[in-house]
Amino acid sequence: MLADEKIWVHVYERPGSELVFVNLHDNENTCVEAAMLFLASHGGRLIELRHGRGREVVIRRAGRMYPFDPNRMFSIKGLRKSLAHFNDISDDDLDLASGFASEVIDLIAPTKGIPVIAIHNNSPGKLTIRDFMPGEWYGPDAQAVHTAPNRDPDDFFFTNSTWLYESLAGLDHNVALMAERPPDHGTLGNYINNLGGLYIIVEAEHGHIQEQTLMLEDLGSLLRNR
Ligand SMILES: [Zn+2]
């Protein structure tokens, strides 16, 4: 509960693989479909937030809404900025939201050293691999970018592993490698990276079920062969 607001956190599990998939944005569903297909054939665990509000999670108190981006809740700095984007911040909201972030982290259980795969979808041209190039919006977050002219720029990977970056670039996927010291946005990637864990974003355009399924398959076999 975030005050009066109920958030469901669904956990799907199937034996066969220890990979953990995380879907933080409730309005991004192609990635969930693709992850379910992956689980059906290889196993793994999928953690999915559900609340019906769209991208942002909402704290609801006395009929008022205090939204924040669940992919900014993994540090106080990110959370403050995200809450302040919509409303004035109160200590109660910060406590509630960071408590919620801890519960999600407990479900992910990243200390086990298992790769954490964040799955996302985007709208055409809104967020692309090109945004990780130097001078662009997420330029400071990346130290290397491989663009694949034969693929849709909306379909890309982002990882903190040099080995995975090179392997995915070798398969000619769009992929960016996280900076050595990326800015603290309070993302799940920041959090896992600070723990020293392996982190991968698999992002595809809404409706790109075939593309995203293939991306997960390629990633899965790279991790298996490793
Ligand atoms: Zn997302």
The Å distance, Cα 146 to ligand 1 centre, comes to: 21
Range in 56-65, 107-116, 162-171, 195-204 with the lowest mean pLDDT? 107-116
**Structural domain tally of the chain?**
1
Within a domain: 157: yes
145-173: average pLDDT = 97
The secondary structure of 131-185, three-state, reads: HHCCCCCCHHHEEEEECCCCCCCCCEEEECCHHHHHHHHHCCCCEEEECCCCCCC
User: How far is Cα 109 from Cα 111, in angstroms, rounded to an integer?
Assistant: 6
CATH number at residue 49: 3.40.630.40
Percent over 90 (pLDDT), the chain = 92
Closest CA to 4 of 66, 50, 56: 66
Within a domain: 1: no
pLDDT at 113: 72
Within a domain: 2: no
Residue appearing with tokens 């790109």: 208
The Å distance, Cα 63 to ligand 1 centre, comes to: 26
188-210: average pLDDT = 97
The Å distance, Cα 190 to ligand 1 centre, comes to: 15
Q: How many helices (H) and strands (E) does the chain have?
A: 6, 10
Check pLDDT > 80 for residue 111: no
Closest CA to 175 of 209, 212, 128, 223: 128
User: How far is Cα 6 from Cα 202, in angstroms, rounded to an integer?
Assistant: 27
75: which DSSP letter? S
The Å distance, Cα 51 to ligand 1 centre, comes to: 15
Within a domain: 195: yes
The Å distance, Cα 25 to ligand 1 centre, comes to: 5
Mean pLDDT (the chain) is 96
Six token digits for residue 63: 């009929």
pLDDT at 112: 67
pLDDT at 43: 97
pLDDT at 226: 85
pLDDT at 40: 98
The Å distance, Cα 123 to ligand 1 centre, comes to: 10
Within a domain: 103: yes
Taking CA atoms, 113 is separated from 100, 138, 223, in Å, by 22, 26, 13
The Å distance, Cα 69 to ligand 1 centre, comes to: 9
The Å distance, Cα 42 to ligand 1 centre, comes to: 23
Six token digits for residue 113: 């050293």
Check pLDDT > 90 for residue 198: yes
Within a domain: 3: no
The Å distance, Cα 48 to ligand 1 centre, comes to: 12
The Å distance, Cα 86 to ligand 1 centre, comes to: 18
Confidence of residue 196 (pLDDT cuts 50, 70, 90): very high
Within a domain: 179: yes
Check pLDDT > 90 for residue 89: no
User: How far is Cα 129 from Cα 165, in angstroms, rounded to an integer?
Assistant: 13
pLDDT at 86: 84
The Å distance, Cα 55 to ligand 1 centre, comes to: 7
Six token digits for residue 166: 């090179």
**8: Cα within 13 Å, side-chain hemisphere:** 8
The vertex-68 CA angle with 64 and 69, nearest 5°, equals 150
Confidence of residue 73 (pLDDT cuts 50, 70, 90): very high
The Å distance, Cα 72 to ligand 1 centre, comes to: 11
The Å distance, Cα 7 to ligand 1 centre, comes to: 17
Within a domain: 212: yes
pTM for this prediction: 0.96
What range defines the domain where residue 136 resides? 8-225
pLDDT at 219: 98
pLDDT at 45: 96
